[in-house]
Amino acid sequence: MIEGVVIKKLKKYEDERGWLTEIFRQDEDGFSPIMSYVSLTKPGIIRGPHEHVKQSDRFVFVGPGDFELYLWDRRENSKTKDENMKIEAGTSNPALVIVPPGVVHGYKCVSREGGMSINLPDKLYKGENKKEEVDEIRWEDREDSPYKIG
């Protein structure tokens, strides 16, 4: 486990109408999102790896679809510096994952039908009114990147 990364198994409450799961409660885990978005990823497509300098991400993988999520700890003062991990999340393993700044992350859709994810980050994309630089180090754009997603 990487220090500061939170992985929470999500409970689906199901009945004859379908299901629901809680993905954010102000009284849990001390994380406060400031925006949200939904992403559809086609089968076999990789998003990332990248990292943020200031932003934390709160990813929600509940389906449809399954993903392999990869994490690498680059933080100098972390007890788990240089550690890495991979988890499967989505329809077969509904999960919420909080990724702190300095943790490189990316995922691959491993479902034939594609997959959907939700992100509730704690910083605005490109800042207020989209007037700032994007808070990303895009490792996927570097040929010499040590962070590879299989």
Domains by residue range for the chain, with CATH = 6-141 (2.60.120.10)
d(CA 23, CA 106): 20
Looking up tokens 């994007």 gives: 134
pTM, to two decimals = 0.93
Please give the average per-residue pLDDT across 37-58, as a whole number: 97
* Confidence band, pLDDT 50/70/90 cuts, at residue 20: very high
d(CA 143, CA 121): 27
